[in-house]
Amino acid sequence: MLSITNISKSFINRGLVLDNLSLNVTEGDSVAIMGPSGSGKTTLMNIAGLLEKPDSGTITFRGSSITDYNDNDSAAYRNRNTGFVFQDHLLLIHLTVRENILLPLLAADYSKDEMTTKVKRAAELMKKTGIADLADKYPSRISGGEAQRVALVRALVNSPSLLLADEPTGSLDGRNADILGELLLEMNREYGISLVVATHSEALAKKMSRILYLKDGKLIL
């Protein structure tokens, strides 16, 4: 599905972060990326989501090269194919839970029928993740665990085939981390969404079908 091949990336003052690294994510895959702080997990996730460009190497998605996409192409690709969940939920505080969740739909160019389907799906996902009752609340009035589930639903409203999650449970307590981890798995199993999850949590990593470690710029088993 997503093939990242021989990617290198360095930063001034830091040097080489990713060193000729390759990662192949298949349809329905679930992959955990582990590794110490500063090893390059976020850098790799950003490159996988076309939020950042590698210095060299290629990226293909379902057989097409997306390596040289410009900003517009990259944004369209992200909208259509990928969802992101970050450590901090990044919800907009002046919008309700429902508005936050529906916001990504406005960035895509849907017909009226498609929009109806997506809004229905959003409602279904809100039920499934246990946040349906929070729809009219503002982010400051919900818990961190709930906010992270809102962020998950928001990442899924455009029906992405690939979900990229960077430390999705990093700011959650054990119980909420477990709930979110189980929800991620459910999305993978029920909807076939491929998962790439960067995490420091062994418990979360173990839920994925494979774990890779980022060390010295390379991914190892």
Ligand X SMILES: Nc1ncnc2c1ncn2[C@@H]1O[C@H](COP(=O)(O)OP(=O)(O)OP(=O)(O)O)[C@@H](O)[C@H]1O
Nearer to ligand X, 131 or 196 (CB): 196
Site mask for ligand X (CB under 6 A), range 198-217, x = bound = --------------------
Binding mask 111-140 for Mg ion (x = CB under 5 A): ------------------------------
> Is position 54 an interface residue for ligand X (rule: CB under 6 A)?
no
Angle (nearest 5°) at CA 159 between 153 and 161:
110
Q: DSSP string covering 148-195, please? A: HHHHHHHHHTT--SEEEEESTTTTS-HHHHHHHHHHHHHHHHHH--EE
Residue 179 binds which one of ligand X, Mg ion, none, with CB within 5 to 8 A depending on kind? none
Select from Mg ion, ligand X, none the partner in contact with residue 96, using the beta carbon and a kind-dependent cut-off of 5 to 8 Å: none
**Residue 113: enclosing H or E segment and its boundaries?**
helix 112-128
Packing angle, helices 112-128 and 144-156, rounded to 10: 150
Q: Which residues pair with 211 in a beta bridge?
A: 32
Answer for the pair 164, 186: CB distance below 8 angstroms, yes or no: no
- In whole angstroms, the minimum distance from the beta carbon of 16 to ligand X comes to 10
Q: What is the closest distance, in whole angstroms, from the C-beta atom of residue 203 to ligand X in the complex? A: 16
What does the binding site for Mg ion look like in residue numbers (CB under 5 A)? 41-42
What does the binding site for ligand X look like in residue numbers (CB under 6 A)? 11, 14, 17, 35, 37-43
